[in-house]
Protein backbone atom coordinates (compact mmCIF):
# COMPACT_ATOMS: atom_id res chain seq x y z
CA UNK A 1 0.00 0.00 0.00
CA UNK A 2 1.20 3.53 -0.68
CA UNK A 3 1.89 5.98 2.12
CA UNK A 4 -1.28 7.60 3.45
CA UNK A 5 -1.19 11.41 3.46
CA UNK A 6 -4.70 11.44 4.84
CA UNK A 7 -4.78 14.40 7.24
CA UNK A 8 -5.34 17.15 4.66
CA UNK A 9 -2.55 15.72 2.54
CA UNK A 10 -0.19 15.30 5.49
CA UNK A 11 1.33 12.39 7.38
CA UNK A 12 2.50 12.64 11.03
CA UNK A 13 6.22 12.12 11.59
CA UNK A 14 7.98 11.19 14.83
CA UNK A 15 11.59 12.35 14.98
CA UNK A 16 13.96 10.26 17.12
CA UNK A 17 17.65 10.87 17.83
CA UNK A 18 19.47 7.94 16.27
CA UNK A 19 22.30 8.06 18.82
CA UNK A 20 20.39 8.63 22.08
CA UNK A 21 16.92 7.24 21.11
CA UNK A 22 15.37 10.42 22.54
CA UNK A 23 12.09 11.43 20.86
CA UNK A 24 12.75 14.98 19.66
CA UNK A 25 9.55 16.21 18.06
CA UNK A 26 6.33 15.32 16.25
CA UNK A 27 5.48 17.19 13.07
CA UNK A 28 3.88 16.68 9.65
CA UNK A 29 5.04 16.07 6.09
CA UNK A 30 3.34 16.58 2.74
CA UNK A 31 4.37 14.44 -0.23
CA UNK A 32 6.55 17.34 -1.35
CA UNK A 33 8.31 17.58 2.06
CA UNK A 34 9.03 13.85 1.92
CA UNK A 35 10.41 14.24 -1.61
CA UNK A 36 12.72 17.06 -0.49
CA UNK A 37 13.75 15.06 2.60
CA UNK A 38 14.74 12.09 0.46
CA UNK A 39 16.55 14.35 -2.01
CA UNK A 40 18.47 16.43 0.55
CA UNK A 41 19.04 13.92 3.36
CA UNK A 42 17.69 16.53 5.81
CA UNK A 43 14.22 16.72 7.31
CA UNK A 44 11.65 18.96 5.61
CA UNK A 45 8.26 19.30 7.32
CA UNK A 46 5.05 21.02 6.31
CA UNK A 47 4.04 23.72 8.79
CA UNK A 48 0.33 23.47 9.46
CA UNK A 49 0.18 26.92 11.10
CA UNK A 50 2.15 28.73 8.37
CA UNK A 51 0.82 26.43 5.63
CA UNK A 52 4.19 26.11 3.94
CA UNK A 53 7.11 23.77 3.41
CA UNK A 54 9.56 24.02 6.27
CA UNK A 55 13.21 23.00 6.06
CA UNK A 56 13.71 22.20 9.75
CA UNK A 57 16.72 24.20 10.97
CA UNK A 58 16.69 26.76 8.11
CA UNK A 59 16.42 29.60 10.67
CA UNK A 60 18.36 28.13 13.60
CA UNK A 61 20.97 26.08 11.76
CA UNK A 62 19.77 23.08 13.76
CA UNK A 63 19.13 20.81 10.80
CA UNK A 64 18.14 17.15 11.21
CA UNK A 65 20.24 14.77 9.15
CA UNK A 66 18.27 11.67 8.15
CA UNK A 67 19.68 8.30 9.17
CA UNK A 68 16.66 6.02 8.61
CA UNK A 69 12.99 6.36 7.63
CA UNK A 70 10.58 3.81 9.08
CA UNK A 71 6.93 3.33 8.09
CA UNK A 72 4.24 2.14 10.50
CA UNK A 73 2.07 -0.94 9.98
CA UNK A 74 -0.84 1.08 8.55
CA UNK A 75 1.32 3.23 6.25
CA UNK A 76 -0.07 6.33 7.94
CA UNK A 77 2.80 7.49 10.15
CA UNK A 78 6.57 7.81 9.80
CA UNK A 79 9.41 7.48 12.28
CA UNK A 80 12.61 9.19 11.20
CA UNK A 81 15.85 8.48 13.03
CA UNK A 82 18.13 11.48 12.75
CA UNK A 83 21.40 13.05 13.72
CA UNK A 84 20.33 16.48 15.06
CA UNK A 85 22.81 19.33 14.46
CA UNK A 86 21.52 21.22 17.53
CA UNK A 87 18.48 21.50 19.83
CA UNK A 88 15.35 20.36 18.01
CA UNK A 89 13.00 22.62 20.02
CA UNK A 90 12.50 26.34 19.33
CA UNK A 91 12.82 26.90 23.11
CA UNK A 92 16.44 25.76 22.96
CA UNK A 93 15.68 22.45 24.65
CA UNK A 94 17.09 19.34 23.01
CA UNK A 95 13.58 17.86 22.63
CA UNK A 96 10.13 19.42 22.24
CA UNK A 97 9.03 16.86 24.85
CA UNK A 98 10.63 18.34 27.96
CA UNK A 99 7.78 18.80 30.46
CA UNK A 100 5.73 16.16 32.22
CA UNK A 101 1.93 16.53 32.24
CA UNK A 102 2.17 17.49 35.94
CA UNK A 103 4.66 20.30 35.16
CA UNK A 104 2.40 21.56 32.42
CA UNK A 105 -0.69 21.53 34.67
CA UNK A 106 1.13 23.27 37.53
CA UNK A 107 2.29 26.02 35.17
CA UNK A 108 -1.25 26.85 34.03
CA UNK B 1 -1.92 26.77 28.27
CA UNK B 2 -4.28 23.81 28.28
CA UNK B 3 -3.69 20.73 26.15
CA UNK B 4 -4.79 21.23 22.55
CA UNK B 5 -7.20 18.56 21.28
CA UNK B 6 -7.33 20.32 17.95
CA UNK B 7 -7.60 17.52 15.38
CA UNK B 8 -11.36 16.90 15.65
CA UNK B 9 -11.05 16.81 19.43
CA UNK B 10 -7.98 14.55 19.37
CA UNK B 11 -4.30 14.91 20.25
CA UNK B 12 -1.55 12.72 18.70
CA UNK B 13 0.32 10.49 21.13
CA UNK B 14 3.73 8.87 20.65
CA UNK B 15 4.20 5.69 22.69
CA UNK B 16 7.77 4.85 23.72
CA UNK B 17 9.00 1.80 25.64
CA UNK B 18 10.36 3.16 28.91
CA UNK B 19 12.94 0.37 29.24
CA UNK B 20 14.27 0.10 25.67
CA UNK B 21 13.41 3.62 24.33
CA UNK B 22 11.88 1.96 21.26
CA UNK B 23 9.04 3.96 19.66
CA UNK B 24 6.11 1.53 19.65
CA UNK B 25 3.21 3.32 18.01
CA UNK B 26 1.55 6.63 17.18
CA UNK B 27 -2.14 7.00 17.95
CA UNK B 28 -4.69 9.56 19.13
CA UNK B 29 -6.45 10.46 22.38
CA UNK B 30 -9.63 12.35 23.11
CA UNK B 31 -10.03 14.17 26.44
CA UNK B 32 -12.00 11.17 27.66
CA UNK B 33 -9.23 8.71 26.67
CA UNK B 34 -6.70 10.83 28.54
CA UNK B 35 -8.99 10.89 31.61
CA UNK B 36 -9.32 7.09 31.55
CA UNK B 37 -5.56 6.72 30.99
CA UNK B 38 -4.82 8.85 34.06
CA UNK B 39 -7.45 7.00 36.11
CA UNK B 40 -6.43 3.46 35.12
CA UNK B 41 -2.67 3.83 34.64
CA UNK B 42 -3.04 2.08 31.27
CA UNK B 43 -3.19 3.68 27.83
CA UNK B 44 -6.61 4.39 26.31
CA UNK B 45 -6.67 5.75 22.75
CA UNK B 46 -9.47 6.98 20.55
CA UNK B 47 -9.80 4.94 17.36
CA UNK B 48 -10.34 7.27 14.42
CA UNK B 49 -11.44 4.44 12.11
CA UNK B 50 -13.92 2.89 14.57
CA UNK B 51 -14.78 6.26 16.16
CA UNK B 52 -14.71 4.90 19.69
CA UNK B 53 -12.67 4.78 22.87
CA UNK B 54 -10.07 2.06 22.70
CA UNK B 55 -8.43 0.47 25.73
CA UNK B 56 -5.18 -0.58 24.05
CA UNK B 57 -4.71 -4.31 24.71
CA UNK B 58 -8.35 -5.04 25.59
CA UNK B 59 -8.49 -7.69 22.84
CA UNK B 60 -4.89 -8.96 22.85
CA UNK B 61 -4.04 -8.60 26.53
CA UNK B 62 -1.07 -6.47 25.46
CA UNK B 63 -1.87 -3.48 27.66
CA UNK B 64 0.46 -0.50 27.96
CA UNK B 65 1.22 0.47 31.54
CA UNK B 66 1.91 4.19 31.87
CA UNK B 67 5.23 5.24 33.37
CA UNK B 68 5.39 8.94 32.40
CA UNK B 69 3.34 11.40 30.35
CA UNK B 70 5.26 14.21 28.62
CA UNK B 71 3.75 17.24 26.85
CA UNK B 72 5.37 18.94 23.87
CA UNK B 73 6.33 22.63 23.75
CA UNK B 74 3.12 23.62 21.91
CA UNK B 75 0.80 21.54 24.12
CA UNK B 76 -0.46 19.77 21.01
CA UNK B 77 1.24 16.35 21.23
CA UNK B 78 1.95 13.82 23.98
CA UNK B 79 4.77 11.35 24.53
CA UNK B 80 3.89 8.50 26.86
CA UNK B 81 6.63 6.27 28.22
CA UNK B 82 5.19 2.85 28.96
CA UNK B 83 5.87 -0.68 30.10
CA UNK B 84 4.27 -2.80 27.32
CA UNK B 85 2.77 -6.12 28.45
CA UNK B 86 3.31 -7.65 24.98
CA UNK B 87 3.78 -6.66 21.33
CA UNK B 88 2.28 -3.24 20.65
CA UNK B 89 1.51 -3.95 16.99
CA UNK B 90 -1.53 -5.92 15.78
CA UNK B 91 0.85 -7.83 13.44
CA UNK B 92 2.59 -9.34 16.46
CA UNK B 93 5.69 -7.17 16.01
CA UNK B 94 6.97 -5.38 19.09
CA UNK B 95 6.60 -1.99 17.39
CA UNK B 96 4.26 -0.69 14.69
CA UNK B 97 7.39 0.86 13.16
CA UNK B 98 9.12 -2.25 11.84
CA UNK B 99 9.66 -1.58 8.10
CA UNK B 100 11.96 0.94 6.48
CA UNK B 101 10.57 3.12 3.71
CA UNK B 102 12.61 1.02 1.22
CA UNK B 103 11.01 -2.23 2.50
CA UNK B 104 7.57 -0.68 2.18
CA UNK B 105 8.21 0.53 -1.37
CA UNK B 106 9.65 -2.82 -2.46
CA UNK B 107 6.58 -4.63 -1.14
CA UNK B 108 4.17 -2.50 -3.14
Higher-confidence residue: B49 or B1? Answer: B49
Strands A52-55 and A97-100: unpaired
B98 touches chain A (CB under 8 A): yes
Whether the complex's predicted ipTM is more than 0.85 is answered with: yes
How far is A28 from A39, CA to CA, in rounded Å? 17
Residues A20-63: tens digit of each pLDDT: 999 999 999 999 999 999 999 999 999 999 999 999 999 999 99
How far is B58 from B43, CA to CA, in rounded Å? 10
Instruction: Answer whether 0.90 is exceeded by the pTM.
Output: yes
Contact B100 A22 (CB under 8 A): no
Which residues in chain A (54-83) have CB-CB distances under 8 A to chain B? 68-75, 77-79
What DSSP line would sit under A46-75, residue for residue? Answer: EETTTTEEEETTTTTS--EEEEEEEEETTS
β-partners of residue B105 are none
Amino acid sequence: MALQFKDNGLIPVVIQDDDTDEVLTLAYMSEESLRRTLESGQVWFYSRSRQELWHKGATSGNFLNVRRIIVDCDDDALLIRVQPLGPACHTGERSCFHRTLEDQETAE
